[in-house]
Structure 1
Amino acid sequence: MVGFNNVIGHEEIIRHLQNAIKTGKISHSYIFAGEPGSGKRLLAGIYAMTLQCEAGGENACGKCESCKRAIGKNHPDIIMVKHEKPNTISIDEIREQVVNDVDIKPYSSPYKIYIIPDAEIMTPQAQNALLKTIEEPPEYAVIMLLTSNIDGLLPTIRSRCVRLDLKVVDDGLVKKYLMEHLHIPDYQAEIDASFAHGSIGKAKEAATSQEFADITQKALKILKYADSMEVYELTEAIKNLSSEKQNINDYLDIFQFWFRDVLMFKATREIDNLVFKQEINYIREQASQRSYENLEKILEALDKTKVRLRANVNTELALELLFLTIREK
């Protein structure tokens, strides 16, 4: 774990948290809300480490005993709430790890901090049990709820916490991060950053996953040659895609970036803003062959395909309809 100054984006939230430390106005309960991979756990962890840091500044020193323990994830006064079942946090788990524990004073720090990831999966009973602690906390208690679905929390909980909404990080910053920290080559970082929709977590996953690299290559092969493929080859390609149900949305995202690139190049003749810059020859060719209307139709068809798949329409059928549109000129 690192200090606030190593976080990409989220400047407003960091300012708010550092200001709370500076003025001593630490809230007893926070909600960190944002998409999966947006950095909720990272920010909550850094805030907790900074609150407990022996140096007492607005940035954790990273060197004191408290910081070392926080980095090693064995700090006695920073409690990460765990749950047995994958999709639910029970009232017993909240009672045992928070409600019955909060009256015991901090072991060695100014605060006793509870971090609850996936807070939206707490049962209503668990949330109600936690509510009492949120309403009447001991002065040393800080509770941080992390959620990617704010509506999963009871209104009574939402109204009593300071809510911090994590916005998506600009693609340019994500790309820069991948190139500087993970040494991903320029064109690959461009694809990973676009795919991640502003989530550093998702971008790192894409950048370090062999599976995602393979998906990208397979998708590009189809996109580059969809027009000239024989019917049997296309049928084969659709069959192969259908068999990878778990990755189908990744493929559709890549298809979307591709046709946006073709449309963008057709309109501007500029390469700078393209995701697939290294495929410019194919993009140029497709831009000259397709009309604006045709490209808009394809992008609409891609959105429709996503909706159909969410509604559990047969995958192969949904893809066949999509490829009919792609092959129209």
Structure 2
Amino acid sequence: MGNFSDIYGYETIKEHLQSAISMGKVSHAYVISGGLGSGKKLIASTFAQTLQCEAGGVEPCGVCHSCVQAAGRNQPDIIWVGHEKPGSIGVDDIRDQLVSDMQIKPYSSPYKIYIIDEADKLTVAAQNAMLKTIEEPPAYGIVILLANNPDVFLQTILSRCVVLDLKPLKDDIVIKYLKDHYDNISDYECKFAARFAAGRIGRAMTMVESTEFAELRRDVMDVIKNAKDMDSTDIMTSVKRVTNYKLTIDDYLDLMLMWYRDVLMFKSTNDTNLLIFNDQMTLIKSQAQTMSYEGLQDIINSIDRVKVRLQANVNFDLVIELLIMAIKENS
């Protein structure tokens, strides 16, 4: 676990948190919002570690007993609230791990800090159970909610929290992070990862480090290259392969979206400098020549519709089959 100075970007948010610490004006409730891989947990854990640090500064010292415990995720007064059901955080989780527990004074620290990851999974009942605690916390109580989408929170919750929104970082910040932390990474890999990550360093790291991502990219490219010649059997074989990526389907679809935007960009501008997939110029030029503007836009719209439909829990295989058919028809 690092210091605030080790966190790339988000200067205003870091300054706000450090100023609150130095002036003794720490809020009892925060919402830290941002997409997957944006750094919510890193900022929350650094903030919590700094608040509990025995040195009392605006950066964690990293060597005191509390900092060592926090780095190992076993600081008794920094509680990461868990949940049994993968899809929701229920009222019992909140009552047992937060509401009741906060009545017990800190073991050895100035605060008891409760961090709820994936807090947008809080049920309405769980939010209501937490409301009184946020309204009238003990002086030592702090609740930090981490969420991809803070709009799901009750207005009564949001109105009592300091909301910190981690907006996407600029590509050059993501690229700098990758160059600083990975040896022998090429300029192309940095640029590609930064564009794919859409301003989220954690997502860029996953792409660089994951062997599974390389396999995902190969399967995406297989559909892109061969969809126009696929028969019904080939399509169903591809659908079955895509089911391997149910948990990372957003990555699969985003990669596909990047490709067709590249083809559309080249068709419109003929400028290779604007492309992300500049290692695939032959195929991009070929598809730009043979595919119409309307066809490319139809594919892009189809990918966007798939994202919406999958959020609504429609039949996964059917949605992917229709997408591949749309790509085939417009290739």
Question: TM-score, normalised to structure 2's length?
Answer: 0.86
Which residue of the partner structure matches residue 262 of structure 1? Answer: 263
Which residue of the partner structure matches residue 194 of structure 1? Answer: 195
Deviation of 1:91 after TM superposition, in Å, equals 3.0
Q: How many Å separate the matches in 2 of 1:89 and 1:301?
A: 32
**What one-letter code is carried by the residue in structure 2 that aligns with 1:60?**
P
Which residue of the partner structure matches residue 284 of structure 1? Answer: 285
* Paired residues for 1:171-320 under 5 Å: 171-183=171-183, 184-224=185-225, 229=229, 231-232=230-231, 235=232, 237-243=234-240, 244-245=242-243, 246=246, 249-307=250-308, 312=314, 314-315=318-319, 317-320=321-324
CA contact (8 A) 1:196 1:203 kept: yes
Which residue of the partner structure matches residue 12 of structure 1? Answer: 12
SS in 2 for 1:277: coil
SS in 2 for 1:84: coil
Deviation of 1:271 after TM superposition, in Å, equals 3.1
Q: Cα–Cα, structure 1 residues 12 and 307, in superposed 2: closer, same or farther, change >3 Å?
A: same
Q: How many Å separate the matches in 1 of 2:253 and 2:118?
A: 27
Which residue of the partner structure matches residue 148 of structure 2? Answer: 148
CA contact (8 A) 2:303 2:323 kept: no
Deviation of 1:18 after TM superposition, in Å, equals 1.3
How many residues are treated as equivalent by the alignment?
Answer: 323
State which drifts further: 294-303 or 278-287. 294-303
Deviation of 1:51 after TM superposition, in Å, equals 1.0
**What one-letter code is carried by the residue in structure 1 that aligns with 2:325?**
L
Q: How many Å separate the matches in 2 of 1:320 and 1:273?
A: 26
CA contact (8 A) 1:120 1:152 kept: yes
State which drifts further: 306-315 or 129-138. 306-315
CA contact (8 A) 2:306 2:320 kept: no
SS in 2 for 1:163: strand
Deviations 1:266-322 (A, max 9, x none): 344433332111122332343344454543344334434545666636246413531
CA contact (8 A) 2:227 2:324 kept: no
**What one-letter code is carried by the residue in structure 1 that aligns with 2:196?**
F
Q: Cα–Cα, structure 1 residues 69 and 23, in superposed 2: closer, same or farther, change >3 Å?
A: same
Q: How many Å separate the matches in 2 of 1:307 and 1:130?
A: 31
Q: Cα–Cα, structure 1 residues 199 and 319, in superposed 2: closer, same or farther, change >3 Å?
A: same
Deviations 1:160-193 (A, max 9, x none): 1111112122233223323432344333343333
Q: How many Å separate the matches in 1 of 2:64 and 2:320?
A: 58
Structure 1 residues not aligned, in runs of 5+:
none
Which residue of the partner structure matches residue 130 of structure 1? Answer: 130
Q: Cα–Cα, structure 1 residues 252 and 122, in superposed 2: closer, same or farther, change >3 Å?
A: closer
Deviation of 1:70 after TM superposition, in Å, equals 0.9
SS in 1 for 2:272: coil
- Residue 326 of structure 1 pairs with residue 327 of structure 2: no
State which drifts further: 132-141 or 267-276. 267-276
Deviation of 1:93 after TM superposition, in Å, equals 2.8
Structure 2 residues not aligned, in runs of 5+:
none
Deviations 1:90-121 (A, max 9, x none): 33332332222223322222222111222233
State which drifts further: 11-20 or 88-97. 88-97
CA contact (8 A) 2:235 2:321 kept: no
Question: TM-score, normalised to structure 1's length?
Answer: 0.86
Give me the CA root mean square deviation: 2.6
CA contact (8 A) 1:32 1:163 kept: yes
Which residue of the partner structure matches residue 95 of structure 1? Answer: 95
CA contact (8 A) 1:29 1:162 kept: yes
CA contact (8 A) 2:223 2:324 kept: no
Which residue of the partner structure matches residue 120 of structure 1? Answer: 120
Deviations 1:178-224 (A, max 9, x none): 34323443333433333333222222222222222112123224434
Q: Cα–Cα, structure 1 residues 175 and 73, in superposed 2: closer, same or farther, change >3 Å?
A: same
Q: Cα–Cα, structure 1 residues 196 and 132, in superposed 2: closer, same or farther, change >3 Å?
A: same
CA contact (8 A) 1:302 1:322 kept: no
**What one-letter code is carried by the residue in structure 2 that aligns with 1:272?**
N
State which drifts further: 71-80 or 98-107. 98-107
Q: How many Å separate the matches in 1 of 2:324 and 2:146?
A: 40
**What one-letter code is carried by the residue in structure 2 that aligns with 1:241?**
S
Q: Cα–Cα, structure 1 residues 297 and 84, in superposed 2: closer, same or farther, change >3 Å?
A: closer
Q: Cα–Cα, structure 1 residues 310 and 205, in superposed 2: closer, same or farther, change >3 Å?
A: same
